[in-house]
Structure 1
Amino acid sequence: MAARTDLGEFLRTCRSGLSPEEAGLGASLSPRRVRGLRREEVAQLAGVSVDYYTRLEQGRHNSPSEAVVEALARALQLDDASRAHLIDLARPARGSSAGPAQRVRPALLQMMASMVDHPVLILGRRTDVLAANTLATALFTDWRRLPARERNYTRWVLLDPVARERFTEWDTVAADAVGTLRLDAGRHPDDRALNDLVGELTNKSAPFRAAWGDHRVHERTFGIKRLTHPEVGPITLHFEALTLPGDAGQTMFVYSTDPGSSSADNLRLLTLLDRPREGIDVSG
């Protein structure tokens, strides 16, 4: 993935999704073949020349200033996640950013093991699954049974038939996972393992190819996931994504159900099945 090509493609995608009316330009007087903004309209809104903006889209200019990036974000009405992604794509080219292997601290594993009524996952860079407590393993899959290179949340969602059967709204879950991976790719464009993962998913998954081509980004914060578990039935879960300041690139996902709901009953039933209670490091 060439970062400069990604910048141009991302800008084109953003302007194609924004109409002149939405951008505050009013209705166009001339017929349009497509819904989105023209290059000259984005340039006008951002206060840059048409030639300069064209060079950005074509990858012929690779280091826009911070002021220009902020002006483009405002012109294209980007949300926080998309704005952050644009900033990442506009950074000067960097060297390899693979970094050391990620590991979960023992104290975190102990804390996860103590949360017996809540499924808990820790995801790292590239949406790699680093740790899961017993209930999360029961709810999703036993990550330890997968080869180490396959212990990745996005890969599991896109390629494992179990995930497609388990998530009631699989299309949304898959698109969000791809958007999260796209966000990470912007932050770490030279991560070889990430590029290998994108290549594998591109070859093996048509839904991934479509979602990746949309250039949509997704920031994991909080939300709802609906599943149907083969042992206990339907479960609706709330999740909170908690970043770990002392562990760069790691996010803890804590899942819960509404008290007194049938989902709470079904999740409780899942906890009563005969399984050891532990926080499991699956990163090795």
Structure 2
Amino acid sequence: MERHEFGAAVRQLRESTAPAAVGLPDGRRRVRGLRREELGDLAGMSADYVRRLEQGRSHPSAGVVNAIARALRVGRADYERLCALAGYAAADGQVPDDVGPGAMRLLERFVDTPMFVSDAAMNLVAVNSAFLALRHWERTGDPWEWNVAWRTFCDPFSTFRQSAADATDHQTILVARLRSALLRYPADASLAALVDELRSRSGLFDTLWREPRPVTAYESSAAFVHPDAGAVTLVGSLLAIPGDDLAALMLTAAPGSADAARLAEIVEDAGEPAIIRVGRAGPG
């Protein structure tokens, strides 16, 4: 399975890479992206070997993975993913937490939409003022107070309510993301410590870690109980931010609903829009 997934990832990256981005002329092309021959030339291998890799008929060495990543000039997140699919640890294995330009654009352009940006370990790294206006994320002084998984399984919010079905979806996503992160970043001590603590403190997390559920949807609904406006039901949609290995969670209400009207009032009362960076959570 891993060979086929690695091959599919290489093909997707090859077909989505503009020739000009790797120093090749565009010209007239019948196919998207790069040809196998072009990738082979850039990576120092034959087109036939590229074909075997993409078809899952050959297992790449760590050197081949690095050569393909360099040839395609992929970002850190894609490099980590290729390494993980090939069964290797990446060069440094640390979870990146820089808020790149893609994340900043989302935060700047959706100022009226409660949103946060998290790293691969589910640590919040930036939030907007609309998110803080919901006033449900109280500070606790715990080392992992800004980690979504920790707050969900070990220190739940008193003003955050979900149905059993939505809670199941939410928990499944968090466990799946942490499992994927630990595979990609095996040298990150803070991530390993977080997973150990979660497994020790939460029987539910430990069960889901040992017997993971399949992710069926990257969104769930919840009621946020605001101290002044009352309960506001919002849907959280998780969006990947390619290249930086970050994700954005956007909270939206049904258009024209009473929840949308209450959310608009809450955001308006928060004053001028702002983006707030929060520090990386965990020990050290």
TM over 0.5: yes
- CA separation of 1:274/1:90 partners in 2, compared to 1, >3 Å: closer, same or farther? closer
* Residues in 2 aligned to 1:164 and 1:192: alpha-carbon distance in whole angstroms: 31
Aligned residues: 204
How far residue 127 of structure 1 moved from its aligned partner, in angstroms, is: 1.1
How far residue 143 of structure 1 moved from its aligned partner, in angstroms, is: 7.1
Q: Does 1:123 align with 2:109?
A: no
Q: Does 1:244 align with 2:241?
A: yes
RMSD: 3.7
- Which secondary structure state, in structure 1, belongs to the residue aligned with residue 121 of structure 2? helix
- Which secondary structure state, in structure 2, belongs to the residue aligned with residue 117 of structure 1? coil
Whether the aligned pair in 2 keeps the contact of 1:222 and 1:240 (CA below 8 Å) is yes
- Which secondary structure state, in structure 1, belongs to the residue aligned with residue 233 of structure 2? strand
How far residue 201 of structure 1 moved from its aligned partner, in angstroms, is: 0.5
- CA separation of 1:109/1:248 partners in 2, compared to 1, >3 Å: closer, same or farther? closer
Q: Does 1:215 align with 2:206?
A: no
How far residue 218 of structure 1 moved from its aligned partner, in angstroms, is: 3.9
2:98 aligned to which of 103, 123, 136:
103
Whether the aligned pair in 2 keeps the contact of 1:110 and 1:278 (CA below 8 Å) is no
Cα displacement string for residues 102-125 of structure 1 (whole angstroms, at most 9, x for unaligned residues): 222478547625533201111112
Q: Does 1:179 align with 2:161?
A: no
**Which residue does the alignment assign to 1:266?**
262
How far residue 140 of structure 1 moved from its aligned partner, in angstroms, is: 6.3
**Which residue does the alignment assign to 2:21?**
none
Cα displacement string for residues 77-106 of structure 1 (whole angstroms, at most 9, x for unaligned residues): xxxxxxxx999366135564015x522247
* Residues in 2 aligned to 1:130 and 1:167: alpha-carbon distance in whole angstroms: 24
**Which residue does the alignment assign to 1:170?**
167
**Which residue does the alignment assign to 1:225?**
221
Unmatched runs of 5 consecutive residues or more in structure 1? 1-6, 8-64, 70-84
* Residues in 2 aligned to 1:172 and 1:107: alpha-carbon distance in whole angstroms: 26
Q: Does 1:200 align with 2:197?
A: yes
Amino acid corresponding to residue 267 of structure 2 in structure 1: T
Q: Does 1:283 align with 2:283?
A: no
* Residues in 1 aligned to 2:135 and 2:209: alpha-carbon distance in whole angstroms: 24
* Residues in 2 aligned to 1:197 and 1:126: alpha-carbon distance in whole angstroms: 9
How far residue 176 of structure 1 moved from its aligned partner, in angstroms, is: 2.1
**Which residue does the alignment assign to 2:154?**
159
Cα displacement string for residues 150-198 of structure 1 (whole angstroms, at most 9, x for unaligned residues): 3211111112231684334434322321122112222223322211110
Q: Percent identity among equivalent residues?
A: 23
